[in-house]
Homo-oligomer: A and B are copies of this chain.
Amino acid sequence: MPDIELLTFIAVKAGLNSTFFTSTAKIASRFHISQQSVSRKLRALASEGLVEFSSSPKGVRVKLSAKGASILKSRFVELKQVFASHPAPFLEGSLESGLGEGSYYMSQAKYVSQFEQKLGFRPFAGTLNHGVSEEKLAGFLSQLEEIAIKGFRTGQRSFGSIRAFPVLVEKKYGAAIIFPERSSHESNVIEVICRENLRKKLKLKEGSSVKLFSEKL
Q: How far is the CA of A82 from the CA of B9 in the complex (A)?
A: 10
Classify chain A's interface size: 35 or more
Interface of A is mostly: helix
Q: Is the CB of B19 within 8 A of A186?
A: yes
- A76 in the interface, Cβ–Cβ < 8 Å? yes
Chain B nearest CB from A123 CB (Å) reads 25
- A204 at the binding interface (Cβ < 8 Å): no
A9 to B111 alpha-carbon distance, docked (Å): 38
| Known pairs A66-B138, A76-B76; A185 contacts B82 (CB<8 A) | no
A62 to chain B, nearest CB (A): 12
Number of copies: 2
Partner of A73, one of B4, B70, B83, B134: B83
Known: A69-B138, A142-B73. A78 touches B12 (CB 8 A): yes
Q: C-beta contact mask, A101-143 vs B, less than 8 Å → 1, else 0?
A: 0000000000000000000000000000000001101110110
Contacting A72 at CB < 8 Å: which of B21, B61, B79?
A: B79
Q: Does A8 contact B (CB under 8 A)?
A: yes
Q: Which residue of B lies closest to A14 (CB)?
A: B138
Q: Would you call B186 and A16 a contact (CB within 8 A)?
A: no
